[in-house]
Structure 1
Amino acid sequence: MNFLPNQIVIGFHANVSSQRALEIIRLVGGTVIDQIPQLNIYVIKVDSSRMNTTLRLLSNFPEVKFAEFNGLMVTQLTPNDPLFPQQWGLLKINSTRAWNVTRGSSLLKIAILDTGVNGGHPDLIDKMVLNVNFSTSSTSQDVNGHGTHVAGIAAATTRNDIGVAGLAINPKIMNIKVLDDSGSGSFSDVAKGIVNATDNGAKVINMSLGGPSFSSSVQSAVQYAAGRGVIQVAAAGNDNTQDLFYPAAYPEVISVAALARDDTKASFSNFGSAWVDVAAPGIDILSTLPTTTNMMGQTNYGYLSGTSMAAPFVSGLAALLASLEPNANKVRNAIETTTVPVPGKGTLYENGRINTYAALLKITGQ
């Protein structure tokens, strides 16, 4: 679609009064949403199912000079990040078109609850606003590698001639380390991280972590954050099972499964439409890794697979949406109701693969 799905641009002849123009617009069932007085042009909103009918009706009025769909003249942001062409996941979820709608707010913060984030990484250093350590590790920095990879997917610096692009171009990153250097953390550490992220102004919390055990303490923290308007996203887990995986399975959290390039479920991804909300790319995802030796075995940049990689795509999308709409429920609704149908929708996952551009159009009412 190369035009906005429910908008028509009408140009009236120069001698047509605004009173007559508005009368014609009313007759065809349109609502004025914008105008260019110098050109006697009006932008109207109509039901998407009546676009062609409205154009035909308008052509019958001699006062109308032209009427056309409100097309997209896309000089789209093309990242100059050299590794961007290898980021198939970003391309798959329609990111480049989405960036023409918004690149997000620099005031919005995404909390990465993980093994830490390599804050000195050249593709992350300008994004970091907080470093907190609740793990048993002696440092808030990422010795493991997992957290840095997750952070880069969500919000690596974009169009800086370096490395990769992140989905949330302008939002900032909060490094809240809740997992130790081996990638393990306690319920209480995770709960403290959620509360701390909330109290420090995070709008989105990404949790590429979890386990099969229900925790009342983590649930309480999740409810605390949700009650304060925080959007929480978590990985569905990598055990190829329908068994519940927490915190993803808490109803306040958006649970994310992983997809292969052909939109089939990643072989390892957990599933089940009763508790898995959406799906996102999760195999061979290229992102940032620590600039020093880490447990992932690669430095600077590398490929990893997992629902851990799928979740930050959703967190990045949530950050873009929340930059335009502060209501967390509306953001979640936009994410879940604009997905692309993929094999398993309704059985493996409640909804399909996220569609960044479509979600942004919905949140802006276009």
Structure 2
Amino acid sequence: MKKFILLCLFIGGLWFALSSFQGLAAKGEYQSIVLDFRENVPNTEIEAKLNAIAQQYKVKPRLNSEFSAADNVYVVEGDRQTLTSLRNSKIAKSTEYIEPNYIYRAYEVPNDPQYGQQWNMRSISIESAWDETKGSGVTVAVIDTGISQVPDLKNTKFVEGYDFVNDKVAADDDNGHGTHVAGTVAQSTNNNYGVAGVAYEATLMPLKVLSAGGTGTTSDIAEAIRFAADNGAGVINMSLGGGGESEMMKEAIAYAHQKGVVVVAAAGNANSNAAEYPARYPHVIGVSAIDSAGEKAPYSNFGAGIDLSAPGGSNSGKIVQETIDPDTEEPVFAGFQGTSMASPHVAGVAALVKAAGIQDPDEVESVLQKSARVVQDDGLNYYGAGHLDASAAVKLAVRGQITFKDFFRWLRDNGYLNPRFWIDGGAVALLPKVLMVLGSYLLAWFLRVYFPFTWSWSLSWGLVTGSSGLFFLKGFYIFDLPQWPFRLLGSSIPELGSAIQGYSELNPFFASVVIPFVLIVLLLGNPNWKKFAVGTALGVASCLLISAFIAPDLGWLGSGAIARTFLIGNALACYGIAWLAMKGEGSLVS
């Protein structure tokens, strides 16, 4: 009787969950549908079918654009139900495909109102770099005139620095130069105010070595370099320089490099054929300046010591950040130009590269140079390795790595760790969602009645993995290899139809007992992995039961009774092979 009551509770909870939940698969967003009629279909037949669609669905089919007539591509407003109905209608026989007109969005564009003035950000392709990382976890030391926390640095993280000019902890800016440079590195972004910064989730360390007049000594600068290296800085920016080689500073830079710090410095503004110090020291990335047209800025030094070029601005377009007016010490948005403005672009991207997983300073420099946009016929070395490219640098930084970052991002956006998973629908939907997550565990409990066993992590992980549609594969990818196998591996069971067929219907081959069966056959001989396979089979059984009621779109089997029967039958088969795998064992004791 107890078993019967529990079974009824499970079925009731599952049904309630199915009626309230929209499914586990991550699906694209769309509000219209694309119909591509075959080229051999007469125009009169196409017109007749479009009229039939208009009458049946109360919509007005239209050409996608003036160029679509030759390809017979039409768009109609509609949702998932309309899409399914069209695919199952006679109209589908006259089309190449009927698919959702998915809505894609631009890479992240910040909401800062003056971002449009920052041509420099777009010139380094920063927006697509932000799709991967924003510099979180990396500290950038700004060795300059200090930093004043103007309003557009309110949301930027800071660590304690030092004022080497006045020998005090607070390293406030009394010139405006250092605050402007710091803004390029990490101005608060997406705060509906002002402008944006390159690595706006990075942490700033203010180190004042230059006076209100903009001058400072090599001894103070060398001490600041060591201070940054000893206090957790991952990147140092020095938008300063001059003539004369200093052993003290050279040793400080070598010390910082040995501790894993990337050191970046401005090349100088004398239009001379050689970078100034400290840009010319070993282990320093020397940066020249380019203007908004990508040409060498008129003032920028070039030649020996130039490793990379970045936006520094010119009279035709300056670098805009928030800083202070040195006369009033009031915040002001100002456009500056100089290699001082170019250097923090590189420092910011270095922080992005570090946040993406590259820690060794030589490797960071290599990534920045290899990813730079090469300038041909650069006989005088105006640009070093080329123009800074943030997007290419970040992609190169993660190339070849099989990372779990995307897995956790997927969990955050689509899986059990997404707060919206639990909150959407309010308290009414919370209970069924909890019951659905526990569904695979309940299935395992019923199996345990017949074959006593103890729970283990491998079994539990298999249950979660299977019930969520093998979601753990979502994060695996390798750059520069054919993407279809990784797109396939990155699909949950409900999404495999999209990977194979190009749309979101379930593929009957994968939405079946096949994958659990293969796993059990392969892992049957290993006691621990066998538990994982059994747990996956039970989880897939729960997943298929859910799909049978909320998303029974099964490719060529349609979405009716046949599809539901197929899914339910395969769910029972998954449960059956799990039962058989445990038969004769007596237990699954760890």
Same fold (TM over 0.5): yes
In the alignment, which residue of structure 2 is the partner of 1:215?
246
- Match for residue 358 of structure 1 among 386, 392, 399: 392
Distance 2:328 2:274 in 1: 27
Separation in structure 2 between the aligned mates of residue 301 and residue 202 of structure 1, nearest angstrom: 27
Matched-pair contact (CA < 8 Å) for 1:145–1:289: yes
Residue 137 (structure 1) shift: 7.8
Indicate whether 1:122 and 2:154 are aligned.
Answer: no
Structure 2: distance between partners of 1:352 and 1:74 = 30
Q: Kindly report the root-mean-square deviation, in angstroms, between the aligned alpha carbons of the 2 structures.
A: 2.2
One-letter code aligned to 2:287: V
User: Counterpart of 1:311?
Assistant: 343
Q: Secondary structure of 1:309's partner?
A: helix
Shift of 1:74: 5.1
Q: Aligned partners of 1:262 and 1:288: how far apart in 2?
A: 23
- Find the partner of 2:368 among 335, 340, 343: 335
Aligned mates of 1:229, 1:101 — CA distance in 2: 22
Q: How do residues 236-315 of structure 1 correspond to structure 2 at under 5 angstroms?
A: 236-272=267-303, 274-283=304-313, 284-290=318-324, 293-294=325-326, 299-315=331-347
Gaps of 5+ in 2: 1-24, 27-103, 400-478, 480-590
Question: Which among 262, 265, 285 is matched to residue 234 of structure 1?
Answer: 265
What's the CA shift for 1:149? 0.3
Note the C-alpha offset of 1:166. Answer: 0.3
The equivalent position to 1:140 in structure 2, one of 167, 171, 193, is 171
Normalising to structure 2: TM-score of the pair?
0.48
Q: Deviations over 1:143-199 (max 9, x none)?
A: 100000000001101101111100102111010111111111101000010000111
1:320 to 333, 340, 352: 352
Q: Who is 1:11 aligned against?
A: none
Q: Measure, in 1, the Cα distance between the counterparts of 2:292 and 2:279.
A: 23
Match of 1:225 in 2: 256
Is the contact between residue 309 and residue 384 of structure 2 (CA under 8 Å) also seen in structure 1? no
Q: Aligned pair in 2 of structure 1 residues 223, 311: CA closer, same or farther (>3 Å)?
A: same
Secondary structure at the counterpart of residue 251 of structure 1:
coil
Contact 1:330 1:363 in 2 (8 A): no
CA deviation profile, 1:61-115 (whole Å, cap 9, x unmatched): xxxxxxxxxxxx655211000110000101100001111121121x210000000
C-alpha separation in 2, matches of 1:336 and 1:278: 7
Bigger Rg over Cα? 2
Q: Measure the CA separation in 2 of the matches of 1:295 and 1:149.
A: 15
**1:235-272 CA-partner distances (Å, limit 9, x unpaired):** 00000001341000012000000001111110000000
Task: Say whether the 8 Å CA contact 1:146–1:296 is kept in structure 2.
Answer: no
Deviation at 1:350, TM superposition (A): 2.4
The match for 1:173 is 204
1:108 aligns with 2:138: yes
**Which TM-score applies when normalising by structure 1?**
0.76
**Number of residue pairs matched by the alignment:** 293
CA shift, 1:203, in A, is 0.1
Residue 23 (structure 1) aligns with: none
- Match of 1:147, SS state, is helix
Q: What CA distance in whole angstroms lies between the structure 2 residues aligned with 1:75 and 1:260?
A: 25
- The one-letter code matched in structure 1 to 2:122 is L
* Cross-structure match for 2:471: none
SS in 1 for 2:288: strand
Residue type of the partner of 1:126?
Answer: N
More strand by share: 1
Name the SS for the 1:300 alignment partner.
strand
1:54 matched to which residue of 2? none
Per the alignment, residue 131 of structure 1 pairs with 161
RCO comparison, higher one (Cα < 8 Å, 6+): 1
Aligned to 1:69: none
Contact kept? 2:274, 2:305, Cα under 8 Å = no
For residues 318-342 of structure 1, what are the alpha-carbon distances to aligned partners after superposition, in whole Å with 9 as ceiling and x for unaligned?
0000012222222111101111123
Q: In 1, distance between residues paired with 2:309 and 2:147? A: 24
CA contact under 8 A between 2:260 and 2:361: conserved in structure 1? yes
**What is the alpha-carbon distance in structure 1 between the residues aligned to residue 329 and residue 299 of structure 2?**
21
Q: Is the 8 A contact 1:145 1:296 kept in 2?
A: no
Q: Residues 147-186 of structure 1 correspond to what in structure 2 (within 5 A)?
A: 147-186=178-217
How big is each residue's C-alpha offset from its partner over 1:271-298, in whole Å with a ceiling of 9 and x where there is no partner? 00x31001001111001212xx316998
SS of residue paired to 2:287: strand
Secondary structure at the aligned position of 1:130 is classed as coil
- Identity score, percent: 40
Contact 1:289-1:299 within 8 A present in 2 as well:
yes
Distance 1:348 1:135, change over 3 A: same
SS at match of 1:289: strand
Which SS does the other structure have where 1:256 is aligned?
strand
| CA 144–336 in structure 1, closer or farther in 2 if over 3 Å, else same | same
